[in-house]
């Protein structure tokens, strides 16, 4: 036990000298000359050993006349716990509410000022309240997708409202954690479905956060292997009929792309790839950009080759429109799913715009 390990004055003094955080909770030390008591881990100036007194609890130290150190806040434990509980409570409120709640209202509900609430939330949860709320919406969206007759209805029911643009702003926050991706998507459940479009077969795979893969191919039997190759450690299964509306929406988008892809995407890639893909998503249907222009746009004009390679490693065909990047001379340039498909996509977008 902790308190046993630090039961002697000798052990306690050593812990204080080393600012040993392991000793926190086992005892407190007080300094006679300053009248202040501290946690062993406090990095305040080391007192003279002769002026030090030890206590088992904060109460004991306080009844002996000492006041808590402002640096290491020895009595703050319960306060910290209380704050954490407030933040957890706010998370629950967001999870349970279909419509979005204003930050001020949420803060008021847990008795914190909006400023503190935002700061504490970020510190404890790791994302902003806004990011957390949009993540919850995305989760509801995928839950609703199975029971809704259309994606639009699912969007409504998830609390996104009628506007696809609100959706659009939020989708970047939905990416799989890079650490998870590096482990081959270990612990991630992926569902996929197959459909046909004017470019042949298309496979669409999604995590609970969004679509993580859209790829073309000629053979529906070998396409699922792509999902296994990309996410070797994920739990992968073929979707049931609940996936149909999502597939239809993707095929619709491939055949007549609107400005932006409306469904949430679960995008993984290096920081550089993500920068490139963000630029690509700003190119409207019927327009194109050269690899050089993309490189300039991300502020790395010399990285033309790296841009081309980021385009080639895109795994969200058309949703991240890498086909709209062409070579400087106006030639179609390469395409992960074949130059013929790229040419036909560009042609079809020209016709529609």
The residues that touch Zn ion, with contacts defined as CB under 5 A, are 38, 42, 44, 69, 71-72
C-beta of 64 vs 312, nearer to Zn ion? 64
Q: Answer yes or no: are the C-beta atoms of 117 and 103 closer than 8 Å.
A: yes
C-beta of 38 vs 176, nearer to Zn ion? 38
Q: What are phi and psi of 41, to 5 degrees?
A: -80, -5
**In 3-state terms, what secondary structure has residue 34?**
coil
Q: How far is the CB of 70 from Zn ion (least distance, A)?
A: 8
For residue 54, give every residue at least 6 positions away whose Cβ sits within 8 Å of its Cβ, in sequence order, or none. Answer: 9, 12, 27, 28, 29, 30
Query: Is 197 known to be catalytic?
Result: no
CA-based nearest residue to 129, from 147, 114, 148, 145: 114
Edge-first strand order for the sheet with 189-197 is: 210-217, 200-207, 189-197, 235-238
* DSSP bridge partners of 215: 203
CA 23 to each of CA 2, 9, 27, 49, 81: distance values in angstroms, whole numbers, following the listed order = 7, 13, 7, 17, 19
Q: Answer yes or no: are the C-beta atoms of 320 and 277 closer than 8 Å.
A: yes
- Other CB atoms within a 10 A radius of the CB of residue 128 amount to 15
Query: Is 322 known to be catalytic?
Result: yes
Burial 216-234 (b: 16+ CB within 10 A, else e): bbeeeeebbebbeebbeeb
Q: Answer yes or no: are the C-beta atoms of 260 and 283 closer than 8 Å.
A: no
Among the listed residues 42, 58, 72, 322, the single catalytic one is 322
Q: How far is the CB of 29 from Zn ion (least distance, A)?
A: 9
CA 187 to chain CA centroid, nearest Å? 15
3-state helix, strand, coil in the chain (%, to 5): 50, 15, 35
Q: How far is the CB of 44 from Zn ion (least distance, A)?
A: 5
Q: Answer yes or no: are the C-beta atoms of 147 and 246 closer than 8 Å.
A: no
Give the active site residues. Answer: 38, 322
């Amino acid at each position: 036990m902790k308190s046993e390990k630090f039961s002697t004055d000798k052990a306690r003094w050593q812990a204080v000298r080393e600012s040993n955080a392991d000793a926190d909770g086992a005892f407190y030390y007080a300094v006679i000359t300053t009248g202040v008591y501290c946690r062993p881990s406090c990095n305040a100036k080391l007192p003279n050993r002769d002026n030090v007194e030890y206590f088992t609890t904060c109460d004991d130290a306080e009844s002996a006349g000492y006041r808590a150190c402002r640096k290491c806040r020895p009595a703050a434990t319960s306060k910290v716990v209380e704050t954490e509980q407030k933040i957890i409570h706010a998370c629950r409120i967001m999870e349970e509410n279909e419509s979005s709640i204003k930050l001020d209202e949420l803060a008021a509900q847990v008795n914190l000022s909006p400023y503190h609430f935002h700061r504490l939330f970020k510190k404890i949860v790791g994302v902003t309240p806004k990011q957390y709320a949009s993540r919850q919406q995305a989760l509801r969206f995928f839950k609703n997708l199975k029971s809704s007759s259309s994606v639009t209805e699912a969007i409504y029911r998830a609390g996104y409202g009628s506007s696809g643009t609100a959706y659009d702003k939020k989708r970047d926050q939905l990416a799989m954690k890079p650490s998870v991706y590096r482990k081959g998507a270990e612990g991630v459940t992926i569902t996929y479905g197959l459909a046909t479009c004017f470019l042949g077969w298309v496979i669409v795979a999604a995590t609970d956060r969004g679509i993580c893969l859209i790829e073309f191919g000629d053979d529906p039997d070998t396409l699922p292997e792509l999902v296994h190759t990309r996410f070797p450690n994920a739990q992968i299964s073929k979707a049931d009929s609940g996936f149909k509306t999502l597939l239809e929406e993707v095929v619709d988008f491939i055949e007549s792309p609107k400005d932006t892809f409306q469904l949430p995407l679960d995008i993984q890639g290096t920081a550089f790839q993500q920068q490139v893909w963000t630029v690509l998503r700003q190119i409207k249907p019927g327009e194109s950009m050269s690899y050089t222009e993309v490189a300039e746009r991300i502020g790395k004009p010399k990285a033309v080759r790296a841009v081309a390679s980021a385009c080639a490693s895109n795994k969200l065909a058309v949703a991240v429109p890498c086909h709209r990047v062409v070579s400087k001379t106006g030639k179609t340039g390469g395409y992960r799913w074949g130059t013929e498909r790229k040419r036909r996509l560009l042609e079809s977008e020209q016709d529609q715009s």
